[in-house]
Amino acid sequence: MFNCKNVKTIFQREFKSYFDSPVAYVFLVAFLVLIGFLTFGVAMYYERRQANLMPFFFWHPWVYLLLIPAVTMGLWSEERRSGTIELLLTLPITLSEALVGKFLAAWAFIGIALGLTFPVVATTAWLGDPDGGAVFCGYFGSLLLAGACVAIGVFASALSRSQVIGFVIALAICFFMLIIGFDPVINAVANWGVPSKIVDAVASCSLMQHYDAMRRGVVDLADIGYYVGVMVFMLAAAKLVTERGK
């Protein structure tokens, strides 16, 4: 039976571990610096003279692509390397509870990083009159996208004892799931003679496609369901891999 108290215990343990080392602070600084540079330096945010956060939200998937695998790569691989996974699995905690607790801790940490970008919103509100609904949708979509990438990272970390291998696998899967919705990729697949229905089905699995609608201010239950489905599927896959490796 799923016990929320056990999930909370794992969550607190993992969340605290992030801030017990300089890694958390390095990640937070790197995230904010990258987002700031890409938004104001590359996208020329001020020069656009438009009170919307589209350029800001545009870069989130690419920053997540690099930094989320770094945050999640040690969730399970470090437990295996240090031998603490045996101790963890002998406690009165199910594997599902441990997985969900670790996932929620990493997702909450990314959520804090996302929340620290509020000066961008404050600056935009000071200079203009942005659409509050669009801003909320953008942040909501970014948080869901981050959750999907974190779940992928949990799965990748469960595959190997090596954190480096976990990082590379998570990076590869996230990158693949981002680009499969891009027109050049879709056109390339269509040119191979693949039926259009299959091409459309593959494109609909893109993390970016569902995120684009939200960053434009449109929240659809289908998009929310997609991200929840990715999280559940990846955590279930991580559970299966861990059970087979016991």
Picking from 241, 62, 240, 71, the residue whose alpha carbon sits closest to that of residue 150 is 71
Cα separation, 134 vs 42, whole angstroms: 22
Q: pLDDT tens, 42-99?
A: 777 666 666 678 888 889 999 999 899 998 988 877 766 666 666 666 667 788 888 8
Number of folded domains that form the chain:
1
Residues 6 or more apart in contact with residue 72 via CB below 8 angstroms: 106, 150, 153, 154, 156, 157, 166, 170
- The pLDDT profile of the chain, 246 residues, written as one tens digit per residue, is 567 888 888 899 888 888 887 878 888 998 999 988 888 887 776 666 666 788 888 899 999 998 999 989 888 777 666 666 666 666 677 888 888 999 999 999 999 999 999 888 888 888 777 778 888 999 999 999 999 999 999 999 988 888 889 899 999 999 999 888 777 777 776 677 667 777 777 777 888 888 988 888 888 898 999 999 999 999 999 989 888 765
Q: Is the dihedral of CA 96, 101, 104, 105 positive or negative?
A: negative
Domain that holds residue 141: 4-245
